[in-house]
Amino acid sequence: MTVTLIRNADWIVAWNEATGRHDYLANADLAFEGDRIVFLGRGYRGTAEREIDGRGRMVLPGFVNIHSHPASEPFNKGLMEERGSLRLGMSSLYEFMLLMRPDDEAKRAAMLFAVGELLKSGVTTFTDYSIARAGWLEDLAGTGIRACVAPSYRSARWFTPNGHRVEYEWNEAAGREAMAAALEMIDAARRHVCGRLFGMLAPAQIDTCTEELLLASIEAAKARNAPVQIHASQSVVEFREMVARHGKTPIEWLSDIGFLYEGAIVAHCIFVDEHSWIRWPMRGDLERMASSKASVAHCPNVFVRRGILLENFGKYRKLGINIGLGTDTFPHNFVEEMRWATVLCKVAASNVEATDLAEVFHAATVGGAKALMRDDIGRLAVGCKADLSLVDLRHPSLQPLYDPLKSFVFSGLERGITDVFVDGRQVVRDGEVTTIDMAAAAEAMNRGQRDALARAPAGDHAHRPTERIFPPTLPIRP
Ligand SMILES: [Zn+2]
């Protein structure tokens, strides 16, 4: 196996096992052999087949994205940014999200494009929470990213007949069948020859899965030592629905049926009992999350576009809740989510010290890794996976350069990232993805969006024309 050496990097964000935090390490070397880091420190004396000049560069641990829908979300660009239902708690889930139904070829292109964006923003591991399709694993393997496949399934689908009431159509047998197929997909991912695929159980949403399906899911997850992730506490409608069904908050119900434990991930855990939009008089949800050691997948961007905030990231963390970040929506720019998470926490708390970038950076790396039950990613240390990115510290967007991570997240975003390695293999070079034809993917995605848009009015409850369902920013002059 060949050794690659990054020599004399200005800064390495290095993992400190003793403190359980990342540190800045100045003027240091990092070497990796095959897929593993073999040296991190000053004065590497071994040999190396490839040497990268680290001067003017920062070495970052690869980011860990624990929640994304790359095969569907890219199609919502230009349509959904300002769309939500005023009569359904501002959510876009029930009235708008179902309208875009691209074909499998377009979905494949969207997934490739989204993974390309993720790699360019320094993500080396991501969770693909999608409906399974043929060729999925091969497509993921070809991108070079490390992927946790989360083939989703459920016992019911939701719909709104009028834009102000949500109904559910149940089919328990179909849910069980889809879960069986998901298990085969997860097992195939774990066996895949590329060695970069693993899997999680993904019962889609708390309000679309029966208790039986959820219990079967955690049993299968525990048998495989795999994580399980569900969307819950993600809308006012869902909160009220769970209260109507069980007399309990969504988190309370998950806790009572035994779904919350170390290894379970709740996306998005926003509408808990103490959320200001809910006015629930009892308390206990955050304590349930903390004591169970379940994790939260926090994806601020998709919610804040509709005025919805998690209240608040810093409070969750202080209570001991593990949090990982995700890109639930487009753009698949993980650094942007980090900036949103930091700033929005301060907005939600009206307190500049409610969190800080160090805490959000922790969530973006080891917090996500912990949620995915991995201790070999999201950190730079000897023995860990060679999943890392290089940032060009001379990039104009980062100047003046006093604190490299602050410059990176608050000013430069992903623009300074030049090179990304996954499993020791280079997948981004000079800012370009080497494994994906981004232009071809964009073309297929555009075609898929146009086709799906043409079908949208037929699926709309009021059969509105496309330009009324998704009004353009400005009127188009005739
Ligand atoms: Zn989601």
Residue with tokens 């996500």: 368
Q: How far is the CA of 67 from the centre of ligand 1 (A)?
A: 6
Q: Looking only at Cα atoms, what is the longest distance across the chain?
A: 70
How many angstroms separate the CA atoms of 123 and 232, rounded?
25
Q: How far is the CA of 69 from the centre of ligand 1 (A)?
A: 6
Q: What is the pLDDT of residue 1?
A: 82
| pTM of the entire predicted model | 0.98
**Which of 38-45's residues contact partners 24+ apart within 8 Å by CB, and which partners?**
38/3, 38/382, 39/5, 39/382, 40/12, 40/14, 40/380, 40/381, 40/382, 44/5, 44/7
Residue 409, exposed/middle/buried by CB under 10 A (0-12, 13-18, 19+)? buried
The tokens describing 53, both together, are 């000049």
Q: DSSP secondary structure string, 62-119?
A: PEEEEEE-TTTGGGGTTTSTT---GGGTT-STTTTGGG----HHHHHHHHHHHHHHHH
Q: Which residues is 417 bridged to in the sheet?
A: 391
Q: How far is the CA of 83 from the centre of ligand 1 (A)?
A: 16
Radius of gyration, alpha carbons of the chain:
22
How many angstroms separate the CA atoms of 33 and 430, rounded?
22
CB atoms within 10 A of CB 347: 14
Q: How far is the CA of 25 from the centre of ligand 1 (A)?
A: 36
Q: What is the pLDDT of residue 409?
A: 98
Asked if 222 contacts 183 with a C-beta cutoff of 8 angstroms, the reply is no
Q: How far is the CA of 129 from the centre of ligand 1 (A)?
A: 7
Q: How far is the CA of 231 from the centre of ligand 1 (A)?
A: 6
Q: How far is the CA of 370 from the centre of ligand 1 (A)?
A: 19
Q: How far is the CA of 17 from the centre of ligand 1 (A)?
A: 32
Q: DSSP secondary structure string, 196-209?
A: -EEE-BEE-BTTTS
Q: How far is the CA of 308 from the centre of ligand 1 (A)?
A: 15
Q: How far is the CA of 168 from the centre of ligand 1 (A)?
A: 19
177: CB partners within 8 A, 6+ apart: none
Parallel/antiparallel/unpaired status of strands 197-199 and 146-153 = parallel
Q: How far is the CA of 72 from the centre of ligand 1 (A)?
A: 10
Q: How far is the CA of 268 from the centre of ligand 1 (A)?
A: 8
CA distance to 84, 208, 415, 434, per residue, from 418 (Å): 36, 42, 8, 12
Of 209, 327, 348, 319, nearest to 268 by C-alpha is 327
**Which of 272-278's residues contact partners 24+ apart within 8 Å by CB, and which partners?**
272/233, 273/249, 274/311, 275/311, 276/311, 277/89, 277/236, 277/308, 278/236, 278/239
Amino acid present at 421: F
How many angstroms separate the CA atoms of 170 and 225, rounded?
29
pLDDT tens series, the chain, 478 aa = 899 999 999 999 999 999 999 999 999 999 999 999 999 999 999 999 999 999 999 999 999 999 999 999 999 999 999 999 999 999 999 999 999 999 999 999 999 999 999 999 999 999 999 999 999 999 999 999 999 999 999 999 999 999 999 999 999 999 999 999 999 999 999 999 999 999 999 999 999 999 999 999 999 999 999 999 999 999 999 999 999 999 999 999 999 999 999 999 999 999 999 999 999 999 999 999 999 999 999 999 999 999 999 999 999 999 999 999 999 999 999 999 999 999 999 999 999 999 999 999 999 999 999 999 999 999 999 999 999 999 999 999 999 999 999 999 999 999 999 999 999 999 999 999 999 999 999 999 999 999 999 999 999 999 999 999 999 999 999 9
